């Protein structure tokens, strides 16, 4: 049966079989959806070899999570979301390479230099909190006191029994780390990264 002529009820039967682990159903779904996914992934990755590897990852996730397939919802939407998240994860991993970070900081210098306000945007609070929790204990307290609670260096120094210069130095280090963390983990950055690679 040609894949393009498969109707909704027929696909539903294959998905029902896939949910219970029937390998022939998986093979059929793979054959049908890999034809749709691979060209899109190749356009976003610009490497046929890497795109093919990532597509294998997508279908591995489909198989491992087959019990979660919702027969009431669009399977195409579900698998395309998996593919998109897989691509984002690839670029995020790429962005965490030290050499790549230097290149990306140069490429997006203007955007990065604006992230002082960006990191405190309510839409990125979860990322901000993640970054804060990764700071050493003292640096974390200094950042919270000065940048979250708005206390002066002198006030923070008195609370923590430190010198104002120590508070200042620790705050600079904390802010630098948090700024980089939010920048390299934010969804918007991943989209910028993808856009830059697509221009190559």
- The model's pLDDT over 56-112, given as tens digits with 9 standing for 90+, comes to 999 999 999 999 999 889 999 999 999 989 988 888 777 666 666 676 666 666 666
Whether 143 and 178 have beta carbons less than 8 Å apart is answered as yes
pLDDT of 24 higher than 60: yes
Closest CA relative to residue 143, chosen from 120, 117, 118, 173: 173
Q: Tell me the pLDDT tens digit for each residue of 140-161.
A: 999 999 988 989 999 999 999 9
65 backbone dihedrals φ, ψ, rounded to 5°:
-110, 20
Whether 55 and 34 have beta carbons less than 8 Å apart is answered as yes
98-198 CATH fold? Arc Repressor Mutant, subunit A (1.10.10)
Within the chain, all domains assigned CATH 1.10.10.10 are found at 98-198
CA 83 to chain centre: 12
Q: At what angle do helices 187-198 and 98-107 cross, to 10 degrees?
A: 80
pLDDT the model gives residue 130: 87
User: What is the distance between the alpha carbons of residues 109 and 181, in angstroms, rounded to a whole number?
Assistant: 15
Q: Tell me the pLDDT tens digit for each residue of 50-67.
A: 888 899 999 999 999 999
The pTM of the full predicted model, rounded to 2 decimals, is: 0.51
CB atoms within 10 A of CB 88: 16
Rg (alpha carbons) of the chain, rounded to whole number: 23
3-95 CATH fold? Rna Polymerase Sigma Factor; Chain: A (1.10.1740)
Within the chain, all domains assigned CATH 1.10.1740.10 are found at 3-95
User: What is the distance between the alpha carbons of residues 69 and 79, in angstroms, rounded to a whole number?
Assistant: 10
Whether 138 and 170 have beta carbons less than 8 Å apart is answered as yes
Contacts of 187 (CB under 8 A, 6+ apart): 88
């Amino acid at each position: 049966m040609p894949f393009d002529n498969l109707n909704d009820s027929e696909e539903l039967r294959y998905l029902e079989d896939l949910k219970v682990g029937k390998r022939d159903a998986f093979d059929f779904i793979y054959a049908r959806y890999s034809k749709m996914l691979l060209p899109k992934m190749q356009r976003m990755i610009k490497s046929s070899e890497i795109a093919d590897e990532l597509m294998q990852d997508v279908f591995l996730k489909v198989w491992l999570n087959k019990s979660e397939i919702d027969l009431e919802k669009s399977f195409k939407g579900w698998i395309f979301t998996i593919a998109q998240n897989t691509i984002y994860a690839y670029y995020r991993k790429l962005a965490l390479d030290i050499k790549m970070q230097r290149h990306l900081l140069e490429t997006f210098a203007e955007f990065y230099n604006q992230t002082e306000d960006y990191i405190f945007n309510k839409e990125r609070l979860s990322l901000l909190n993640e970054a804060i929790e990764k700071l050493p204990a003292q640096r974390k307290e200094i950042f919270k006191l000065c940048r979250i609670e708005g206390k002066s260096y002198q006030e923070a120094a008195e609370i923590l029994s430190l010198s104002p210069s120590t508070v200042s130095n620790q705050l600079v280090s904390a802010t630098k780390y948090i700024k980089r963390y939010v920048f390299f983990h934010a969804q918007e950055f991943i989209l910028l990264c993808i856009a830059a690679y697509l221009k190559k």
